[in-house]
Amino acid sequence: MAALLDLEKSSLLKVAPRLMQIVRVLVRHKFLGALRGKNHWPPPKEVRETFEELGLTFLKLGQVLAMRRDLLPDAYISELELLQDQLPALGIAMVRAMIETELGSPLTELFAAFSETPLAAATIAQVHEAVMRDGRRVAVKVQRPDLEEMIATDMAALTYLVALGENLFPRLRAFDLPVLVHEFASSLSRETDFSHEAHSITLFRAALTDIPDLWIPDVVAECSSSNVLTMEFADGERIDTYARQNPEEMPRLINTLVRLTLQTIFEEGLFHADPHPGNVLVLFDGRLSLLDFGMTGELDEPMRESLTILLEAVVKGDARGATDAYLEMAPQGSEKVNRAALLLDIKAVLYEIHRSDLAEVSIGDSFDSLLRAGSRHGVHNPGEFFLLTRTFVILEAMIRELDPEHDYLKSFREEIARLTAKHFSLERIKDKTGKLAREIERLMTDAPGDTRRVLRRLAEGNLGRFQAPAVEALGGRISRNLERLTIAIASAALVIAGAMLVITPQIGWHHNLGEAMVIAGICGTVLVWIGALRNDQGRGRGRR
């Protein structure tokens, strides 16, 4: 799908009719009173009915706002969570036309059989069961027609409306509405691009191949496009239905859910952001099947590292560590945040968590409290953190529904321990050590020559009494210092890595290797110190 937010192509004249329609609906539902402050907001039910009346784009916006507990009171969140992601089904003629236009062949040539009755009909698309020519059962997800133009018009109208509101009522700028609209447009663009969903499925299948109790349907690439997605058919029961009939199976299945969630987050930087019971099936052979990858999140490596530190700090009650890790996850504008005030708020959050019964502690609620604290102090929370919080909230609610007696945190701790052991495996350490060695080698090889070249060019310029020989000598000293600095960094890395191995909860070679790395790092540090001392003594004699 093309970019949904392009004001140059969506002129005010073009979107004016839709903009006026939106304004009329907002006036009728008493939204203008909200401009006078929170005490004049329309009732929660009125807000939900407004989004329902405004149609598809605003239904999705309402669902996004339902995640923003940092912006809205709980009563509004609860009401927005009732927004239904369903629309009347498309007729088979329209479905056939969409598939044939997208895939370039008649429906009868693509499929041996195609059910006219959809399995599900949502705001973005509907799903039909079909049979491929080779006999494979598949599910065909077909996007509603004219969706791109409709969403583009709505997003342009919403953008103009936000800009107008901020100009007329400057207090709205505190809500950072343009950023919210931009993030919503990006999220909606990904969700309506089925090629993005197909790519996500491929990534998840590759990341979770080592979980035997899990099966993710594969994409049928030859019958898929940006608006049509064909996948293998998952034949099973919703996990909540299965739980009522097979309660004894829940501990195993819940552990699988926890494992796949944490493994994709911390190992691959991926997560399924909508793990509700309708998207989790239990197949007839007892395996889990995960469906609908339209809403997924991605975390880059720095954010994953910050998330790991944040989780550890929350568990330990380390408010300062949690504050630092949280601000690292939301770096944009964090230099303007009052860290002292934020630290006090996070201390209060962690105190409430640790005074509760451990069995009742919720990771999702803990993240939600952090988001609220950050927003109160001007932190611009990244969209991925909202999605991640939503993921944990939905997952925990589903687990409590499936088995109220299950110790969710025990499953969480066991999986974290497994991932930690995997992180410190010999193969992983060799890989990281190799990367570090290559980086150090490149730095040691390139830095002296690069430094000399830069200084030579400076010397050739008009630098007054700075002449080339003096600059070359300076370059030599800088080069030697760079080499010592590089060795010092490598030594420090060895000490840190070795110490982590020594303290990891494993026995045997982990401790031996860790001790050897610590000793090697200390020796390297001593050598650098001796070299620096000799250099200082030599310069002292030269001055005398």
Cβ(160)–Cβ(12) under 8 Å? yes
Q: Helix (H) and strand (E) counts for the chain? A: 20, 11
The whole-angstrom separation of Cα 415 and Cα 260 is: 9
Residue type, 440: I
Cα–Cα distance between 517 and 146 in angstroms, integer?
A: 62
311's enclosing H/E stretch is helix 301-316
The Cα 298–Cα 388 span in angstroms is 9
- Contact criterion met (CB below 8 Å) for 178 and 163: yes
Q: Phi/psi of residue 193, each to 5°?
A: -105, 100
Q: Which residue carries 């907002």 as its tokens?
A: 26
Question: Cβ distance 310 to 266 under 8 Å?
Answer: no
Two tokens, residue 382: 């990244």
The tokens describing 480, both together, are: 């030697």
Check residue 508 and give left, alpha or beta (phi > 0: left; psi -120 to 50: alpha).
left
Angle ∠(258,76,34) on CA atoms, nearest 5: 145
**How far, in Å, CA of 14 to CA of 148, rounded?**
15
274 is known as an active-site residue: yes
Cα 114 from chain centre: 36
State whether residue 112 is helix, strand or coil: strand
Beta-sheet pairing, 214-215 with 288-290 = parallel
Backbone angles phi, psi at 132, to 5 degrees: -70, 165
Residue with tokens 């499936």: 402
User: What DSSP assignment string belongs to 363-419?
Assistant: HHHHHHHHHHHHHHTT----HHHHHHHHHHHHHHHHHHHH-TT--HHHHHHHHHHHH
Type of residue numbered 432: K
Task: Please pick, among 274, 345, 365, 368, the residue that the annotation labels catalytic.
Answer: 274
Which residues belong to the active site? 274
